[in-house]
Amino acid sequence: MLERSQLAANALQALHDEDYDVPFNTQSLNHDGLIFMGGRQQTSMNGDWTFCVDLLDTGLRQKWYAMLPEAPENRTEPWDYDPYMGETVPVPSNWAMLKEKWYFFEGSAWYTRPLDLDEIDGTKRQFLRFGAASYDCKVFLNGEFLGNHYGASTPFCVELTGRLKPGRNWIMACVNNTRTRDRVPMRNTDWFNYGGLYREVSFFETSKSLIRDFFLYLVPDGTYSTLRAEVTVDGPELETARLAIPGLGVTLDIPVDETGRGKLEFSARPDLWSPETPTLYDVTVRFGEDLVTDRVGFRQIERRGTDILLNGEALFLRGISVHEDDARLGKVTTEEDLRRRFADARDLGCNYLRLAHYPHHERAAQLADELGFLLWEEIPVYWAIDFANPATYRDAENQLTELIRRDRNRASVIIWSVGNENPDTDARLTFMQGLAETCKNLDPTRLTSAACLVNHAQNRIEDRLADHIDIIGLNEYYGWYEENFEDLAAIGVNSNPDRPVVISETGADGVIGEKGPQKGLFSEEYMAEVYRKQIGTLRQLDYVKGMSPWILYDFRVERRQNIFQNGYNHKGLIAADKQTRKKAFRILSDFYHQIAASEEKAREAS
Ligand code: GCU
C-alpha cells in the first residue's frame, strides 16, 4: 500500500504518465492457469461489489488499488474514489443493464469486495475463478496486481496461495470493455458490447496436488469400444491418477509422467450418446487428495465426403443460432433462460444449436448434454480482425484453448468454429488455419468449421479456408441482403464442395406488433416469405447437411437504429420478450418436424 510521500509523487505521475496501463497488460491469466472444476467445492463471490465506472482510467493512474481502507474523516490526502465504500452493483451483471447513464458506457470499471478468511490452511492452495469478464480483467489482491485476462467469454483462474492473510482480504477487478483494433472481436460487431463481471465468481481451495485438466473420450476409430483418458496434474510427485466410471465397471490407474501428464486407453462399450439417447456416465478422477467428477457421454462425430455422421449414421443438423442476450439481464445467463432456450428449440424441431459468436455460459453445453442437443461453439474471430498482429493471434488462440479445455468433455459439442464472415485474405488464412490446427491438436474427436461467405462474384461457395476445416459454414441472406433469390439455387449448381456444408446463417428481419410495418422489408410477412423460399431452395441441395437460421430471439445491438429496429436486430423467430413467436417460427418448425419424422421412419425401417 502507498505511503504518504508516495501518494504525492503518484498524484503528479498520474497526470503525465500515458503508459500507466502497460504494466497491467501481461495477459498472464490465461489457459495455462485453468483448473478442471468438475465436482469442486466453491465459495460464491457473487453478490454486491462496490463499483465505479472509470472513463479516464483514473484508477490505474492514481493507483486506487493501492489505497488502504480508511474512514473518510481519517484520510489525509484528497481522493477521487474510495473502492471500499459507496455504490454497489450485483455480480454477475452487465453495467449497461443497471443504469441508463451506463447503457453505452465503454471503458474501465472497478469492482471491489472483501474476502474474509478465519485462517489460511497452509496445506492447501487457494484460487479465484471468474466464469468470464468482458473484456480485459485486471485482478488485484490486497493492493497487489496478480495479472490480467483478455477475452470476454471464457473462464480464468487466479492463484492466491501465499498471498492471503487471516481476516479481511480485498479483491479488486478492473474490467475494461473498450473496443480496440487488437482485440477479438475487434471494434465492429452486430451484437451489444456488454461489459463487466457477468458470470459467476468463486473462491476455492485444493490440496497441494491438483488435477488441472481432464479429458475423457471415445476413440473415434469406428469401433466404439475404446476410451481414452488424459490428465494434467500439478504438485508433488505421485505416480498415478485413479479413474473410475462405475457405470462401465471401470477403475483404472492412469500413469503420470514427470511433466504431470498422464494418458491411458482402455476397452469399454458404453451406450452411445445421441440427441435421442443422451446417455451420460458419472466419472471420478483422484490424484492424491484431489478429486474431481464429471458426467460424460460417449459418441463419435465424423464427416465422410459431404456427409456428417453421428455414431456411424448420417445426420441432418436441424438447428437455430442463438446469442447470449436478454432484454432485462443483458448477457447474464440463468438456468431458467437456458432451459427456455432449449424448450423453444425443441418446439422448433431442432436437434442442434449454433452458439454464436463467442463461448456461451458453460451451463449451456452441460444442459445440452442432458437434454440431447448438438452444439456448434465458436470464438469471436468476427468480421474484421487484426489478422497480421501476433498479439491478436495469441489472444484468439488463448480464447479457443480456454473454450476447448472448458467444454471438451461435453458430448453435445460436435463443432469448434474458428470464426465468422472474415475476408479471404492471406493473413486471415494463416490466422484461422492456425486456429483450426489448434483445435485438432487439443481435440481429435470433433469437427472444425467457420462461417464463410459466398463468393458473390463467382456466385459459388469458394473460400480458401474451406480446405482447412471439416465443415463449411455458409452465411447466406438471399431474399434479405441479397435480393436475387435465384442466385441461391445457382450457387447450389455452381458449387461442388468436397465436404459437408451447413447453412450457419440465413433469415430476415420481421418486426411484429404495431411497431412493425404491415408489408415489405421488416414486416413479419416478408420474413415468413423469405423462410418459405429459403427452405424450398435449400432442401434441394444434397450437400447441405444442416442449417442454423439467424436467429432464435431478437437481440440488442447498438448499430441497428432505424424506425423499426430501435437498437435491436429483429431476425429472431421469437421476439425479444422470448414469448412472442413470429410466423416464420411455424414455417421452420414444420420443415424440421417433417425431416425428423422421415428420419424416424428410416430408423424404424432399418
Ligand atoms: C451476419 C452476422 C451476424 C449478424 C447477421 C445480421 O451474418 O454473422 O452476426 O447479426 O448477419 O446481419 O443480422
Give the distance (Å) from ligand 1 centre to CA of residue 320.
13
Q: Which atom of ligand 1 is nearest to the CA of 509?
A: 13
Query: What does the alpha-carbon distance between residue 192 and residue 171 come to, in Å, rounded to a whole number?
Result: 28
Give the Cα separation of 168 and 287 in Å (integer): 32
- Which atom belonging to ligand 1 lies closest to the Cα atom of 505? 7
By C-alpha distance, which of 527, 502, 504 is closest to 586?
A: 527
Please name which of 360, 351, 362 lies closest in space to residue 301, comparing C-alpha atoms.
351
The 3-class SS string of 158-222 reads EECCCCCCCEEEEEEEEEECCCCCCCCCCCCCCCCCCCECCCCEEEEEEECCEEEEEEEEECCCC
Which of 381, 474, 505 should be mutated for ligand 1, with most atoms under 8 A from CB?
505
Q: Whose CA is nearest to atom 9 of ligand 1?
A: 190
Look at the block and give the residue holding cell 477521487.
Answer: 80
Taking the CB of residue 24, how many other CB atoms lie within 10 A of it? Answer: 18
Residue 572 CA to ligand 1 center (angstroms) comes to: 11
User: Consecutive sets of 10 residues in the chain, 606 residues long: mean pLDDT of each?
Assistant: 58 85 97 98 98 97 94 92 97 98 98 97 97 98 98 98 98 98 97 98 96 98 98 83 98 95 97 98 96 98 97 97 98 98 98 98 98 98 98 98 98 98 97 98 98 87 94 96 87 90 98 90 97 94 95 97 96 98 98 95 86
Per-residue confidence (pLDDT) for residue 3, from 0 to 100: 56
Q: Determine which residue's CA is closest to atom 4 belonging to ligand 1.
A: 190
Question: Strand, coil or helix: what is 435?
Answer: helix
Q: Give the residue, out of 569, 570, 573, with the most ligand 1 atoms within 8 A of its beta carbon, to mutate for a pocket test.
A: 569
Q: In the chain, what are the helix, strand and coil shares in percent, each to the nearest 5? A: 25, 30, 45
Mapping DSSP onto H, E and C, the string for 13-72 reads HHHHCCCCCHHHCCCCCCHHHCCCCCCCCCEECCEEEEEEEECCCHHHHCCHHHCCCCCH
| Angle, alpha carbons 271-274-278 (nearest 5°) | 70
- Which has the closest alpha carbon to 171: 143, 136, 148? 143
Scanning 270-382, the segments in alpha helix (DSSP H) are 335-348, 362-371
- HSE, CB side, 13 Å, CA atoms: give it for residue 195: 27
Distance CA 235, CA 276 (A): 42
CA of 506 to the centre of ligand 1 (A): 9
Q: pLDDT tens digits for 67-88?
A: 999 999 999 888 999 999 999 9
What is the structure's pLDDT at 604?
A: 87
Specify the residue with its C-alpha closest to ligand 1, atom 2.
190
Backbone dihedral angles phi then psi of residue 189, each to the nearest 5 degrees? -135, 155
Quick check: 570 and 510 in contact, CB under 8 A? yes
Collapsing DSSP states into helix, strand and coil, what is residue 416?
strand
Q: Which residue has the cell 473460400?
A: 463
CA 145–ligand 1 middle distance (angstroms): 38
Cα of 567 vs centre of ligand 1, distance in Å, is: 14
Contact between 241 and 285 under an 8 Å Cβ cutoff? The reply is yes
Alpha-carbon gap, residue 311 to 302, rounded angstroms: 8
DSSP state of 553: B
Q: Is 73 helix (H, G, I), strand (E, B) or coil?
A: helix
Query: What is the rounded (10 degree) CA torsion for 50, 53, 57, 62?
Result: -40
Residue nearest to atom 12 of ligand 1 (CA): 190
- The alpha carbon of 584 and the centre of ligand 1 are apart by a number of angstroms equal to 18
563, three cell numbers? 424506425
Directed axis angle between helix 335-348 and helix 583-605, to 10°?
Answer: 70
Per the document, the length of the chain is 606
In this predicted model, what pLDDT tens digit does every residue of 195-246 receive, in sequence order? 999 999 999 999 999 999 999 999 999 999 999 999 999 976 667 999 999 9
Kindly give the distance from the C-alpha atom of residue 172 to the centroid of ligand 1, in angstroms, as a whole number. 36
Return the residue whose CA atom lies nearest to atom 3 of ligand 1. Answer: 190
Predicted pLDDT at 4: 54
How does strand 124-130 pair with strand 460-461? unpaired
Using the mean position of ligand 1's atoms as its centre, give its distance from the Cα of residue 581 in Å.
20
- Which atom of ligand 1 lies closest to the CA of 421? 8
What's the CA-to-centroid distance between 508 and ligand 1, angstroms? 10
Which residues line ligand 1 at a C-beta cut-off of 6 Å? 190, 357, 420-421, 475, 505, 550, 569, 571
Which amino acid, 393? Y
Residue 176, Ramachandran bin (φ over 0: left; ψ between -120 and 50: alpha; else beta): beta
